[in-house]
Chain A
């Protein structure tokens, strides 16, 4: 998993398996969270977001879970594909600014 400020952890999964990427945030006042995907040499790309009044949100093949009690956020990717290989960042909104975690490198194995 990942915490804001730590160096890059890694996660390897088999193609077709589900991936779970974790993120711990520190500010209990944060009210908005986003997951971004960053492929090598590119800018971050929005995947999914969730506001603090929700505990789950689903997109296409992705689900974000928010546990405010333990200040934990996770991104679940169903049926992981080779194109999902990238660095995934969580970001939390604090004082109208986004604070990014250091990211998790996801590698999809054939």
Chain B
């Protein structure tokens, strides 16, 4: 298994540009997550999904959108990039066996985004 893969690894955007960060997992996990990590800080949850067709906001959703059309893919969309969105973005997935449970999250390698 490749686990959780993310593309691209690095990206530089100009203010106002848009882009999609890709995330794919091959572990048949039902839950998927997007986090951002600012320098010297912990991870903050942007959005998560409990299954195909279902998404929900996390702690810091403003400026982002997500979709989950398949179990494997969970893309994160930035519509109007701002300097405050400069960060490292991590995608994660987990298999939650019952509603309310939380199982181990497995992380991708991250996408380093700079907005100038």
State the total of A-B contacts with C-beta under 8 angstroms.
Answer: 52
Q: By DSSP majority rule, is chain B's interface helix, strand, loop, or mixed?
A: loop
Kindly list chain B residues whose C-beta atoms are within 8 Å of the C-beta of A7: 40-41
Q: Say whether B45 contacts A97, CB under 8 Å.
A: yes
The total of chain B residues at the interface (CB under 8 A) is 24
Q: Say whether B107 contacts A44, CB under 8 Å.
A: yes
Q: In the assembled complex, how far is the CB of residue A16 from the closest CB belonging to chain B, in whole angstroms?
A: 28
Kindly list chain A residues whose C-beta atoms are within 8 Å of the C-beta of B96: 96
User: Roughly how many angstroms separate A100 CA and B43 CA in the complex, as a whole number?
Assistant: 6
The total of chain A residues at the interface (CB under 8 A) is 22
Contact with A along B45-79 (1 / 0, CB 8 A): 10010000000001100000000000000000000
The residues of B with any CB-CB pair to A shorter than 8 Å are: 4, 35, 40-45, 48, 58-59, 90, 92, 96, 100-102, 104-110
Closest 3 CB pairs of A and B: A43-B107, A100-B42, A93-B102
Q: Apart from A34-B104, A98-B102, what 5 extra A-B contacts exist at CB < 8 Å? A: A42-B110, A43-B108, A44-B107, A100-B44, A102-B42
